[in-house]
Structure 1
Amino acid sequence: MISLEAEALPELWPAPDFTLTNQAGETVTRDDLLGQVWAADFFFTSCPGICPMLSANMQGLNADLADHPKRSDLRLVSFSLDPEHDTVEVLAEYSEAIEAPPSDWLFLTGQRQAIWDLSINGFKLEVQDTPDDPANPILHSGKVVLVDRQGMVRGYYDGLLPEGIKQLQADLELLLAE
C-alpha cells in the first residue's frame, strides 16, 4: 500500500452505530468514540486461526503507540464474533493477559446478530459460520478498519501482515495530526 497524505485518505462512509459492552462491563457506543481516532478489528478469544496473529499485531501497535503525545485521542477496538463464549469476564481476562487496559483498547461483546451485522453490513467485512471446520469455526476477515474523529471509515488494512500494520500506524499518525 502506498503512503497517503492525510487529505488523500478517503472518507468511505460513516462507521455504523452500535451499543455493546466492554471488558469492564461498561456500555460503549459509536458516539462514545467520536473525537477519537480508532482502529477496529473482529476476532474471538478461542479462535484457533488468524486471531492470535491479529491480536499480536494489534498488541504491537498498541505498544508502539503507548508513549504517543496524543495517545488519549486514540483507541483500539476489538469486536468479539463469539459473544456466547466471550463474556465480559472472558474479555477482561483476555485484555489483562495481553496488557491492554480499557483506556487504550476496548474489547466489545453483545448480541451475536448485532455484532455480525456490524461486521457484514456496517464495516463490510466477511464473517460466516463454518461448523464443519472445528479448526476454524468462524471464518472472518483479518482486516483492521481505521475510523477518524468524526466517525468516518477512512481505510482498511491487512492486520495479519507487518506492512499492513505499518501503513495503519502511519495513517493513524496522519489522522491524529489533523
Structure 2
Amino acid sequence: MFKNLKIVLFSLITIMLLVACGDDHNSSANGNQNNDEQEIKPEFEEEVQDFSFTNQDDETVSLDDLKGEYWVADLIFTNCETVCPPMTANMAKLQQMLDEEGIDIRLVSFSVDPQNDDPETLKAFGDKHGADYSNWDFLTGYSQEDIESFASKSFKALVSKVDGDDQVTHDTSFMLVSPEGDMINRFKGTSFEEMESIVEYLKHYKK
C-alpha cells in the first residue's frame, strides 16, 4: 500500500511539473510575441523642446527645420576620451547603412561641451570620423546650462559637467525622433548591432 502511495504521489508531481513547464512555455511565447510587436511601436512620446542652434558650417539649424521627417540624435563632445569616438563612428556607419537602404533622414549630434566645441572644432571631429554633412549636423552655440536642460527635457538624458573637469558625463543613446518632433525610441549608441535595429525600425516607420 505504501509502495502504491509513492507511485501515486510521483505521478501527481510529474503531472504538476509538466503543467508548469507548459505554462512557462506559453508565457515565453507570449513574451516573444510582445517583443516582436514592441519593435514596431514607439516606446516613448517625449516632445523635443524647441531649439535654434549652430552647426559645423556656422549655419542655423532649428527644430522647425527637422520637423516633417524622422531624425536620429545623439550627445557627444570632441574632447571625449571614452564613448564619443565609437558613438560617432557608429553614427557614420548608420548614415552609410541608411543610404544603402534608400532611407532619407537627418542625423543630429548635439555637443555637450559647447564652451570648447565651436563649429570649426566640431567639423574637424566630424571629418575625422567620416561624416557626410549633407544630412548630418553637429550642433553648438548654447550654454552648458542650456544643453543640460534641453537633453533632460527632450530626451530624458543626463548631461553633467563638473567645474574644472574637461570631461562631461552624458547619455550614450541614439534617440529616434518622429516627424512630429517627439522622441519615440532610444538605442544604445555604443553598440554597432543597434545600428541595424535603427535601420529596421525606420524601414517600418518609413512605409
TM-score tier by shorter-chain length is 0.7 to 0.9
Q: Which residue of 1 aligns with 2:138?
A: 107
> Quick check: 1:146–1:172 contact (8 Å CA) kept in 2?
no
| Secondary structure of residue in 2 paired with 1:66 | helix
| Secondary structure of residue in 2 paired with 1:155 | strand
For 1:171, the aligned partner's letter is Y
| Cα root mean square deviation, aligned | 2.1
Structural mapping, 1:33-52, within 5 Å: 33-52=66-85
Indicate yes or no: 2:77 matched with 1:76.
no
- Counterpart selection for 2:185 from 152, 155, 159: 155
Runs of 4+ with >3 A deviation = 1-6, 130-134
> Quick check: 1:42–1:79 contact (8 Å CA) kept in 2?
yes
- Counterpart selection for 2:172 from 133, 142, 164: 142
What is the CA deviation profile of residues 120-167 of structure 1, one whole-angstrom value per residue up to 9, with x for unaligned ones? 222110111245766xx2111111100011212111111112332222
Aligned-pair distance for 1:63?
1.3
| Secondary structure of residue in 1 paired with 2:110 | strand
What is the CA deviation profile of residues 82-124 of structure 1, one whole-angstrom value per residue up to 9, with x for unaligned ones? 1111101111222223232322211000212222211122211
Q: Which residue of 2 aligns with 1:122?
A: 154
Task: Give % identity.
Answer: 33
**Count of residues in correspondence between the two structures:** 172
Unaligned regions of 5+ residues in structure 2, if any? 1-31
> Quick check: 1:9–1:155 contact (8 Å CA) kept in 2?
yes
Measure the CA separation in 2 of the matches of 1:130 and 1:169.
36
> Quick check: 1:17–1:30 contact (8 Å CA) kept in 2?
yes
TM-score normalised per structure 1: 0.87
Measure the CA separation in 2 of the matches of 1:130 and 1:88.
23
What is the CA deviation profile of residues 37-68 of structure 1, one whole-angstrom value per residue up to 9, with x for unaligned ones? 11100000110011111111111111112233
Q: Which residue of 2 aligns with 1:20?
A: 53
Unaligned regions of 5+ residues in structure 1, if any? none
Indicate yes or no: 2:93 matched with 1:60.
yes
- Structure of higher CA gyration radius: 2
Where relative contact order (Cα < 8 A, 6+ residues apart) is larger, the structure is: 1
> Quick check: 2:72–2:106 contact (8 Å CA) kept in 1?
yes
> Quick check: 2:46–2:155 contact (8 Å CA) kept in 1?
no
Q: Which has a greater percent of strand?
A: 1
Q: Which residue of 1 aligns with 2:5?
A: none
| Secondary structure of residue in 2 paired with 1:173 | helix
Indicate yes or no: 2:201 matched with 1:171.
yes
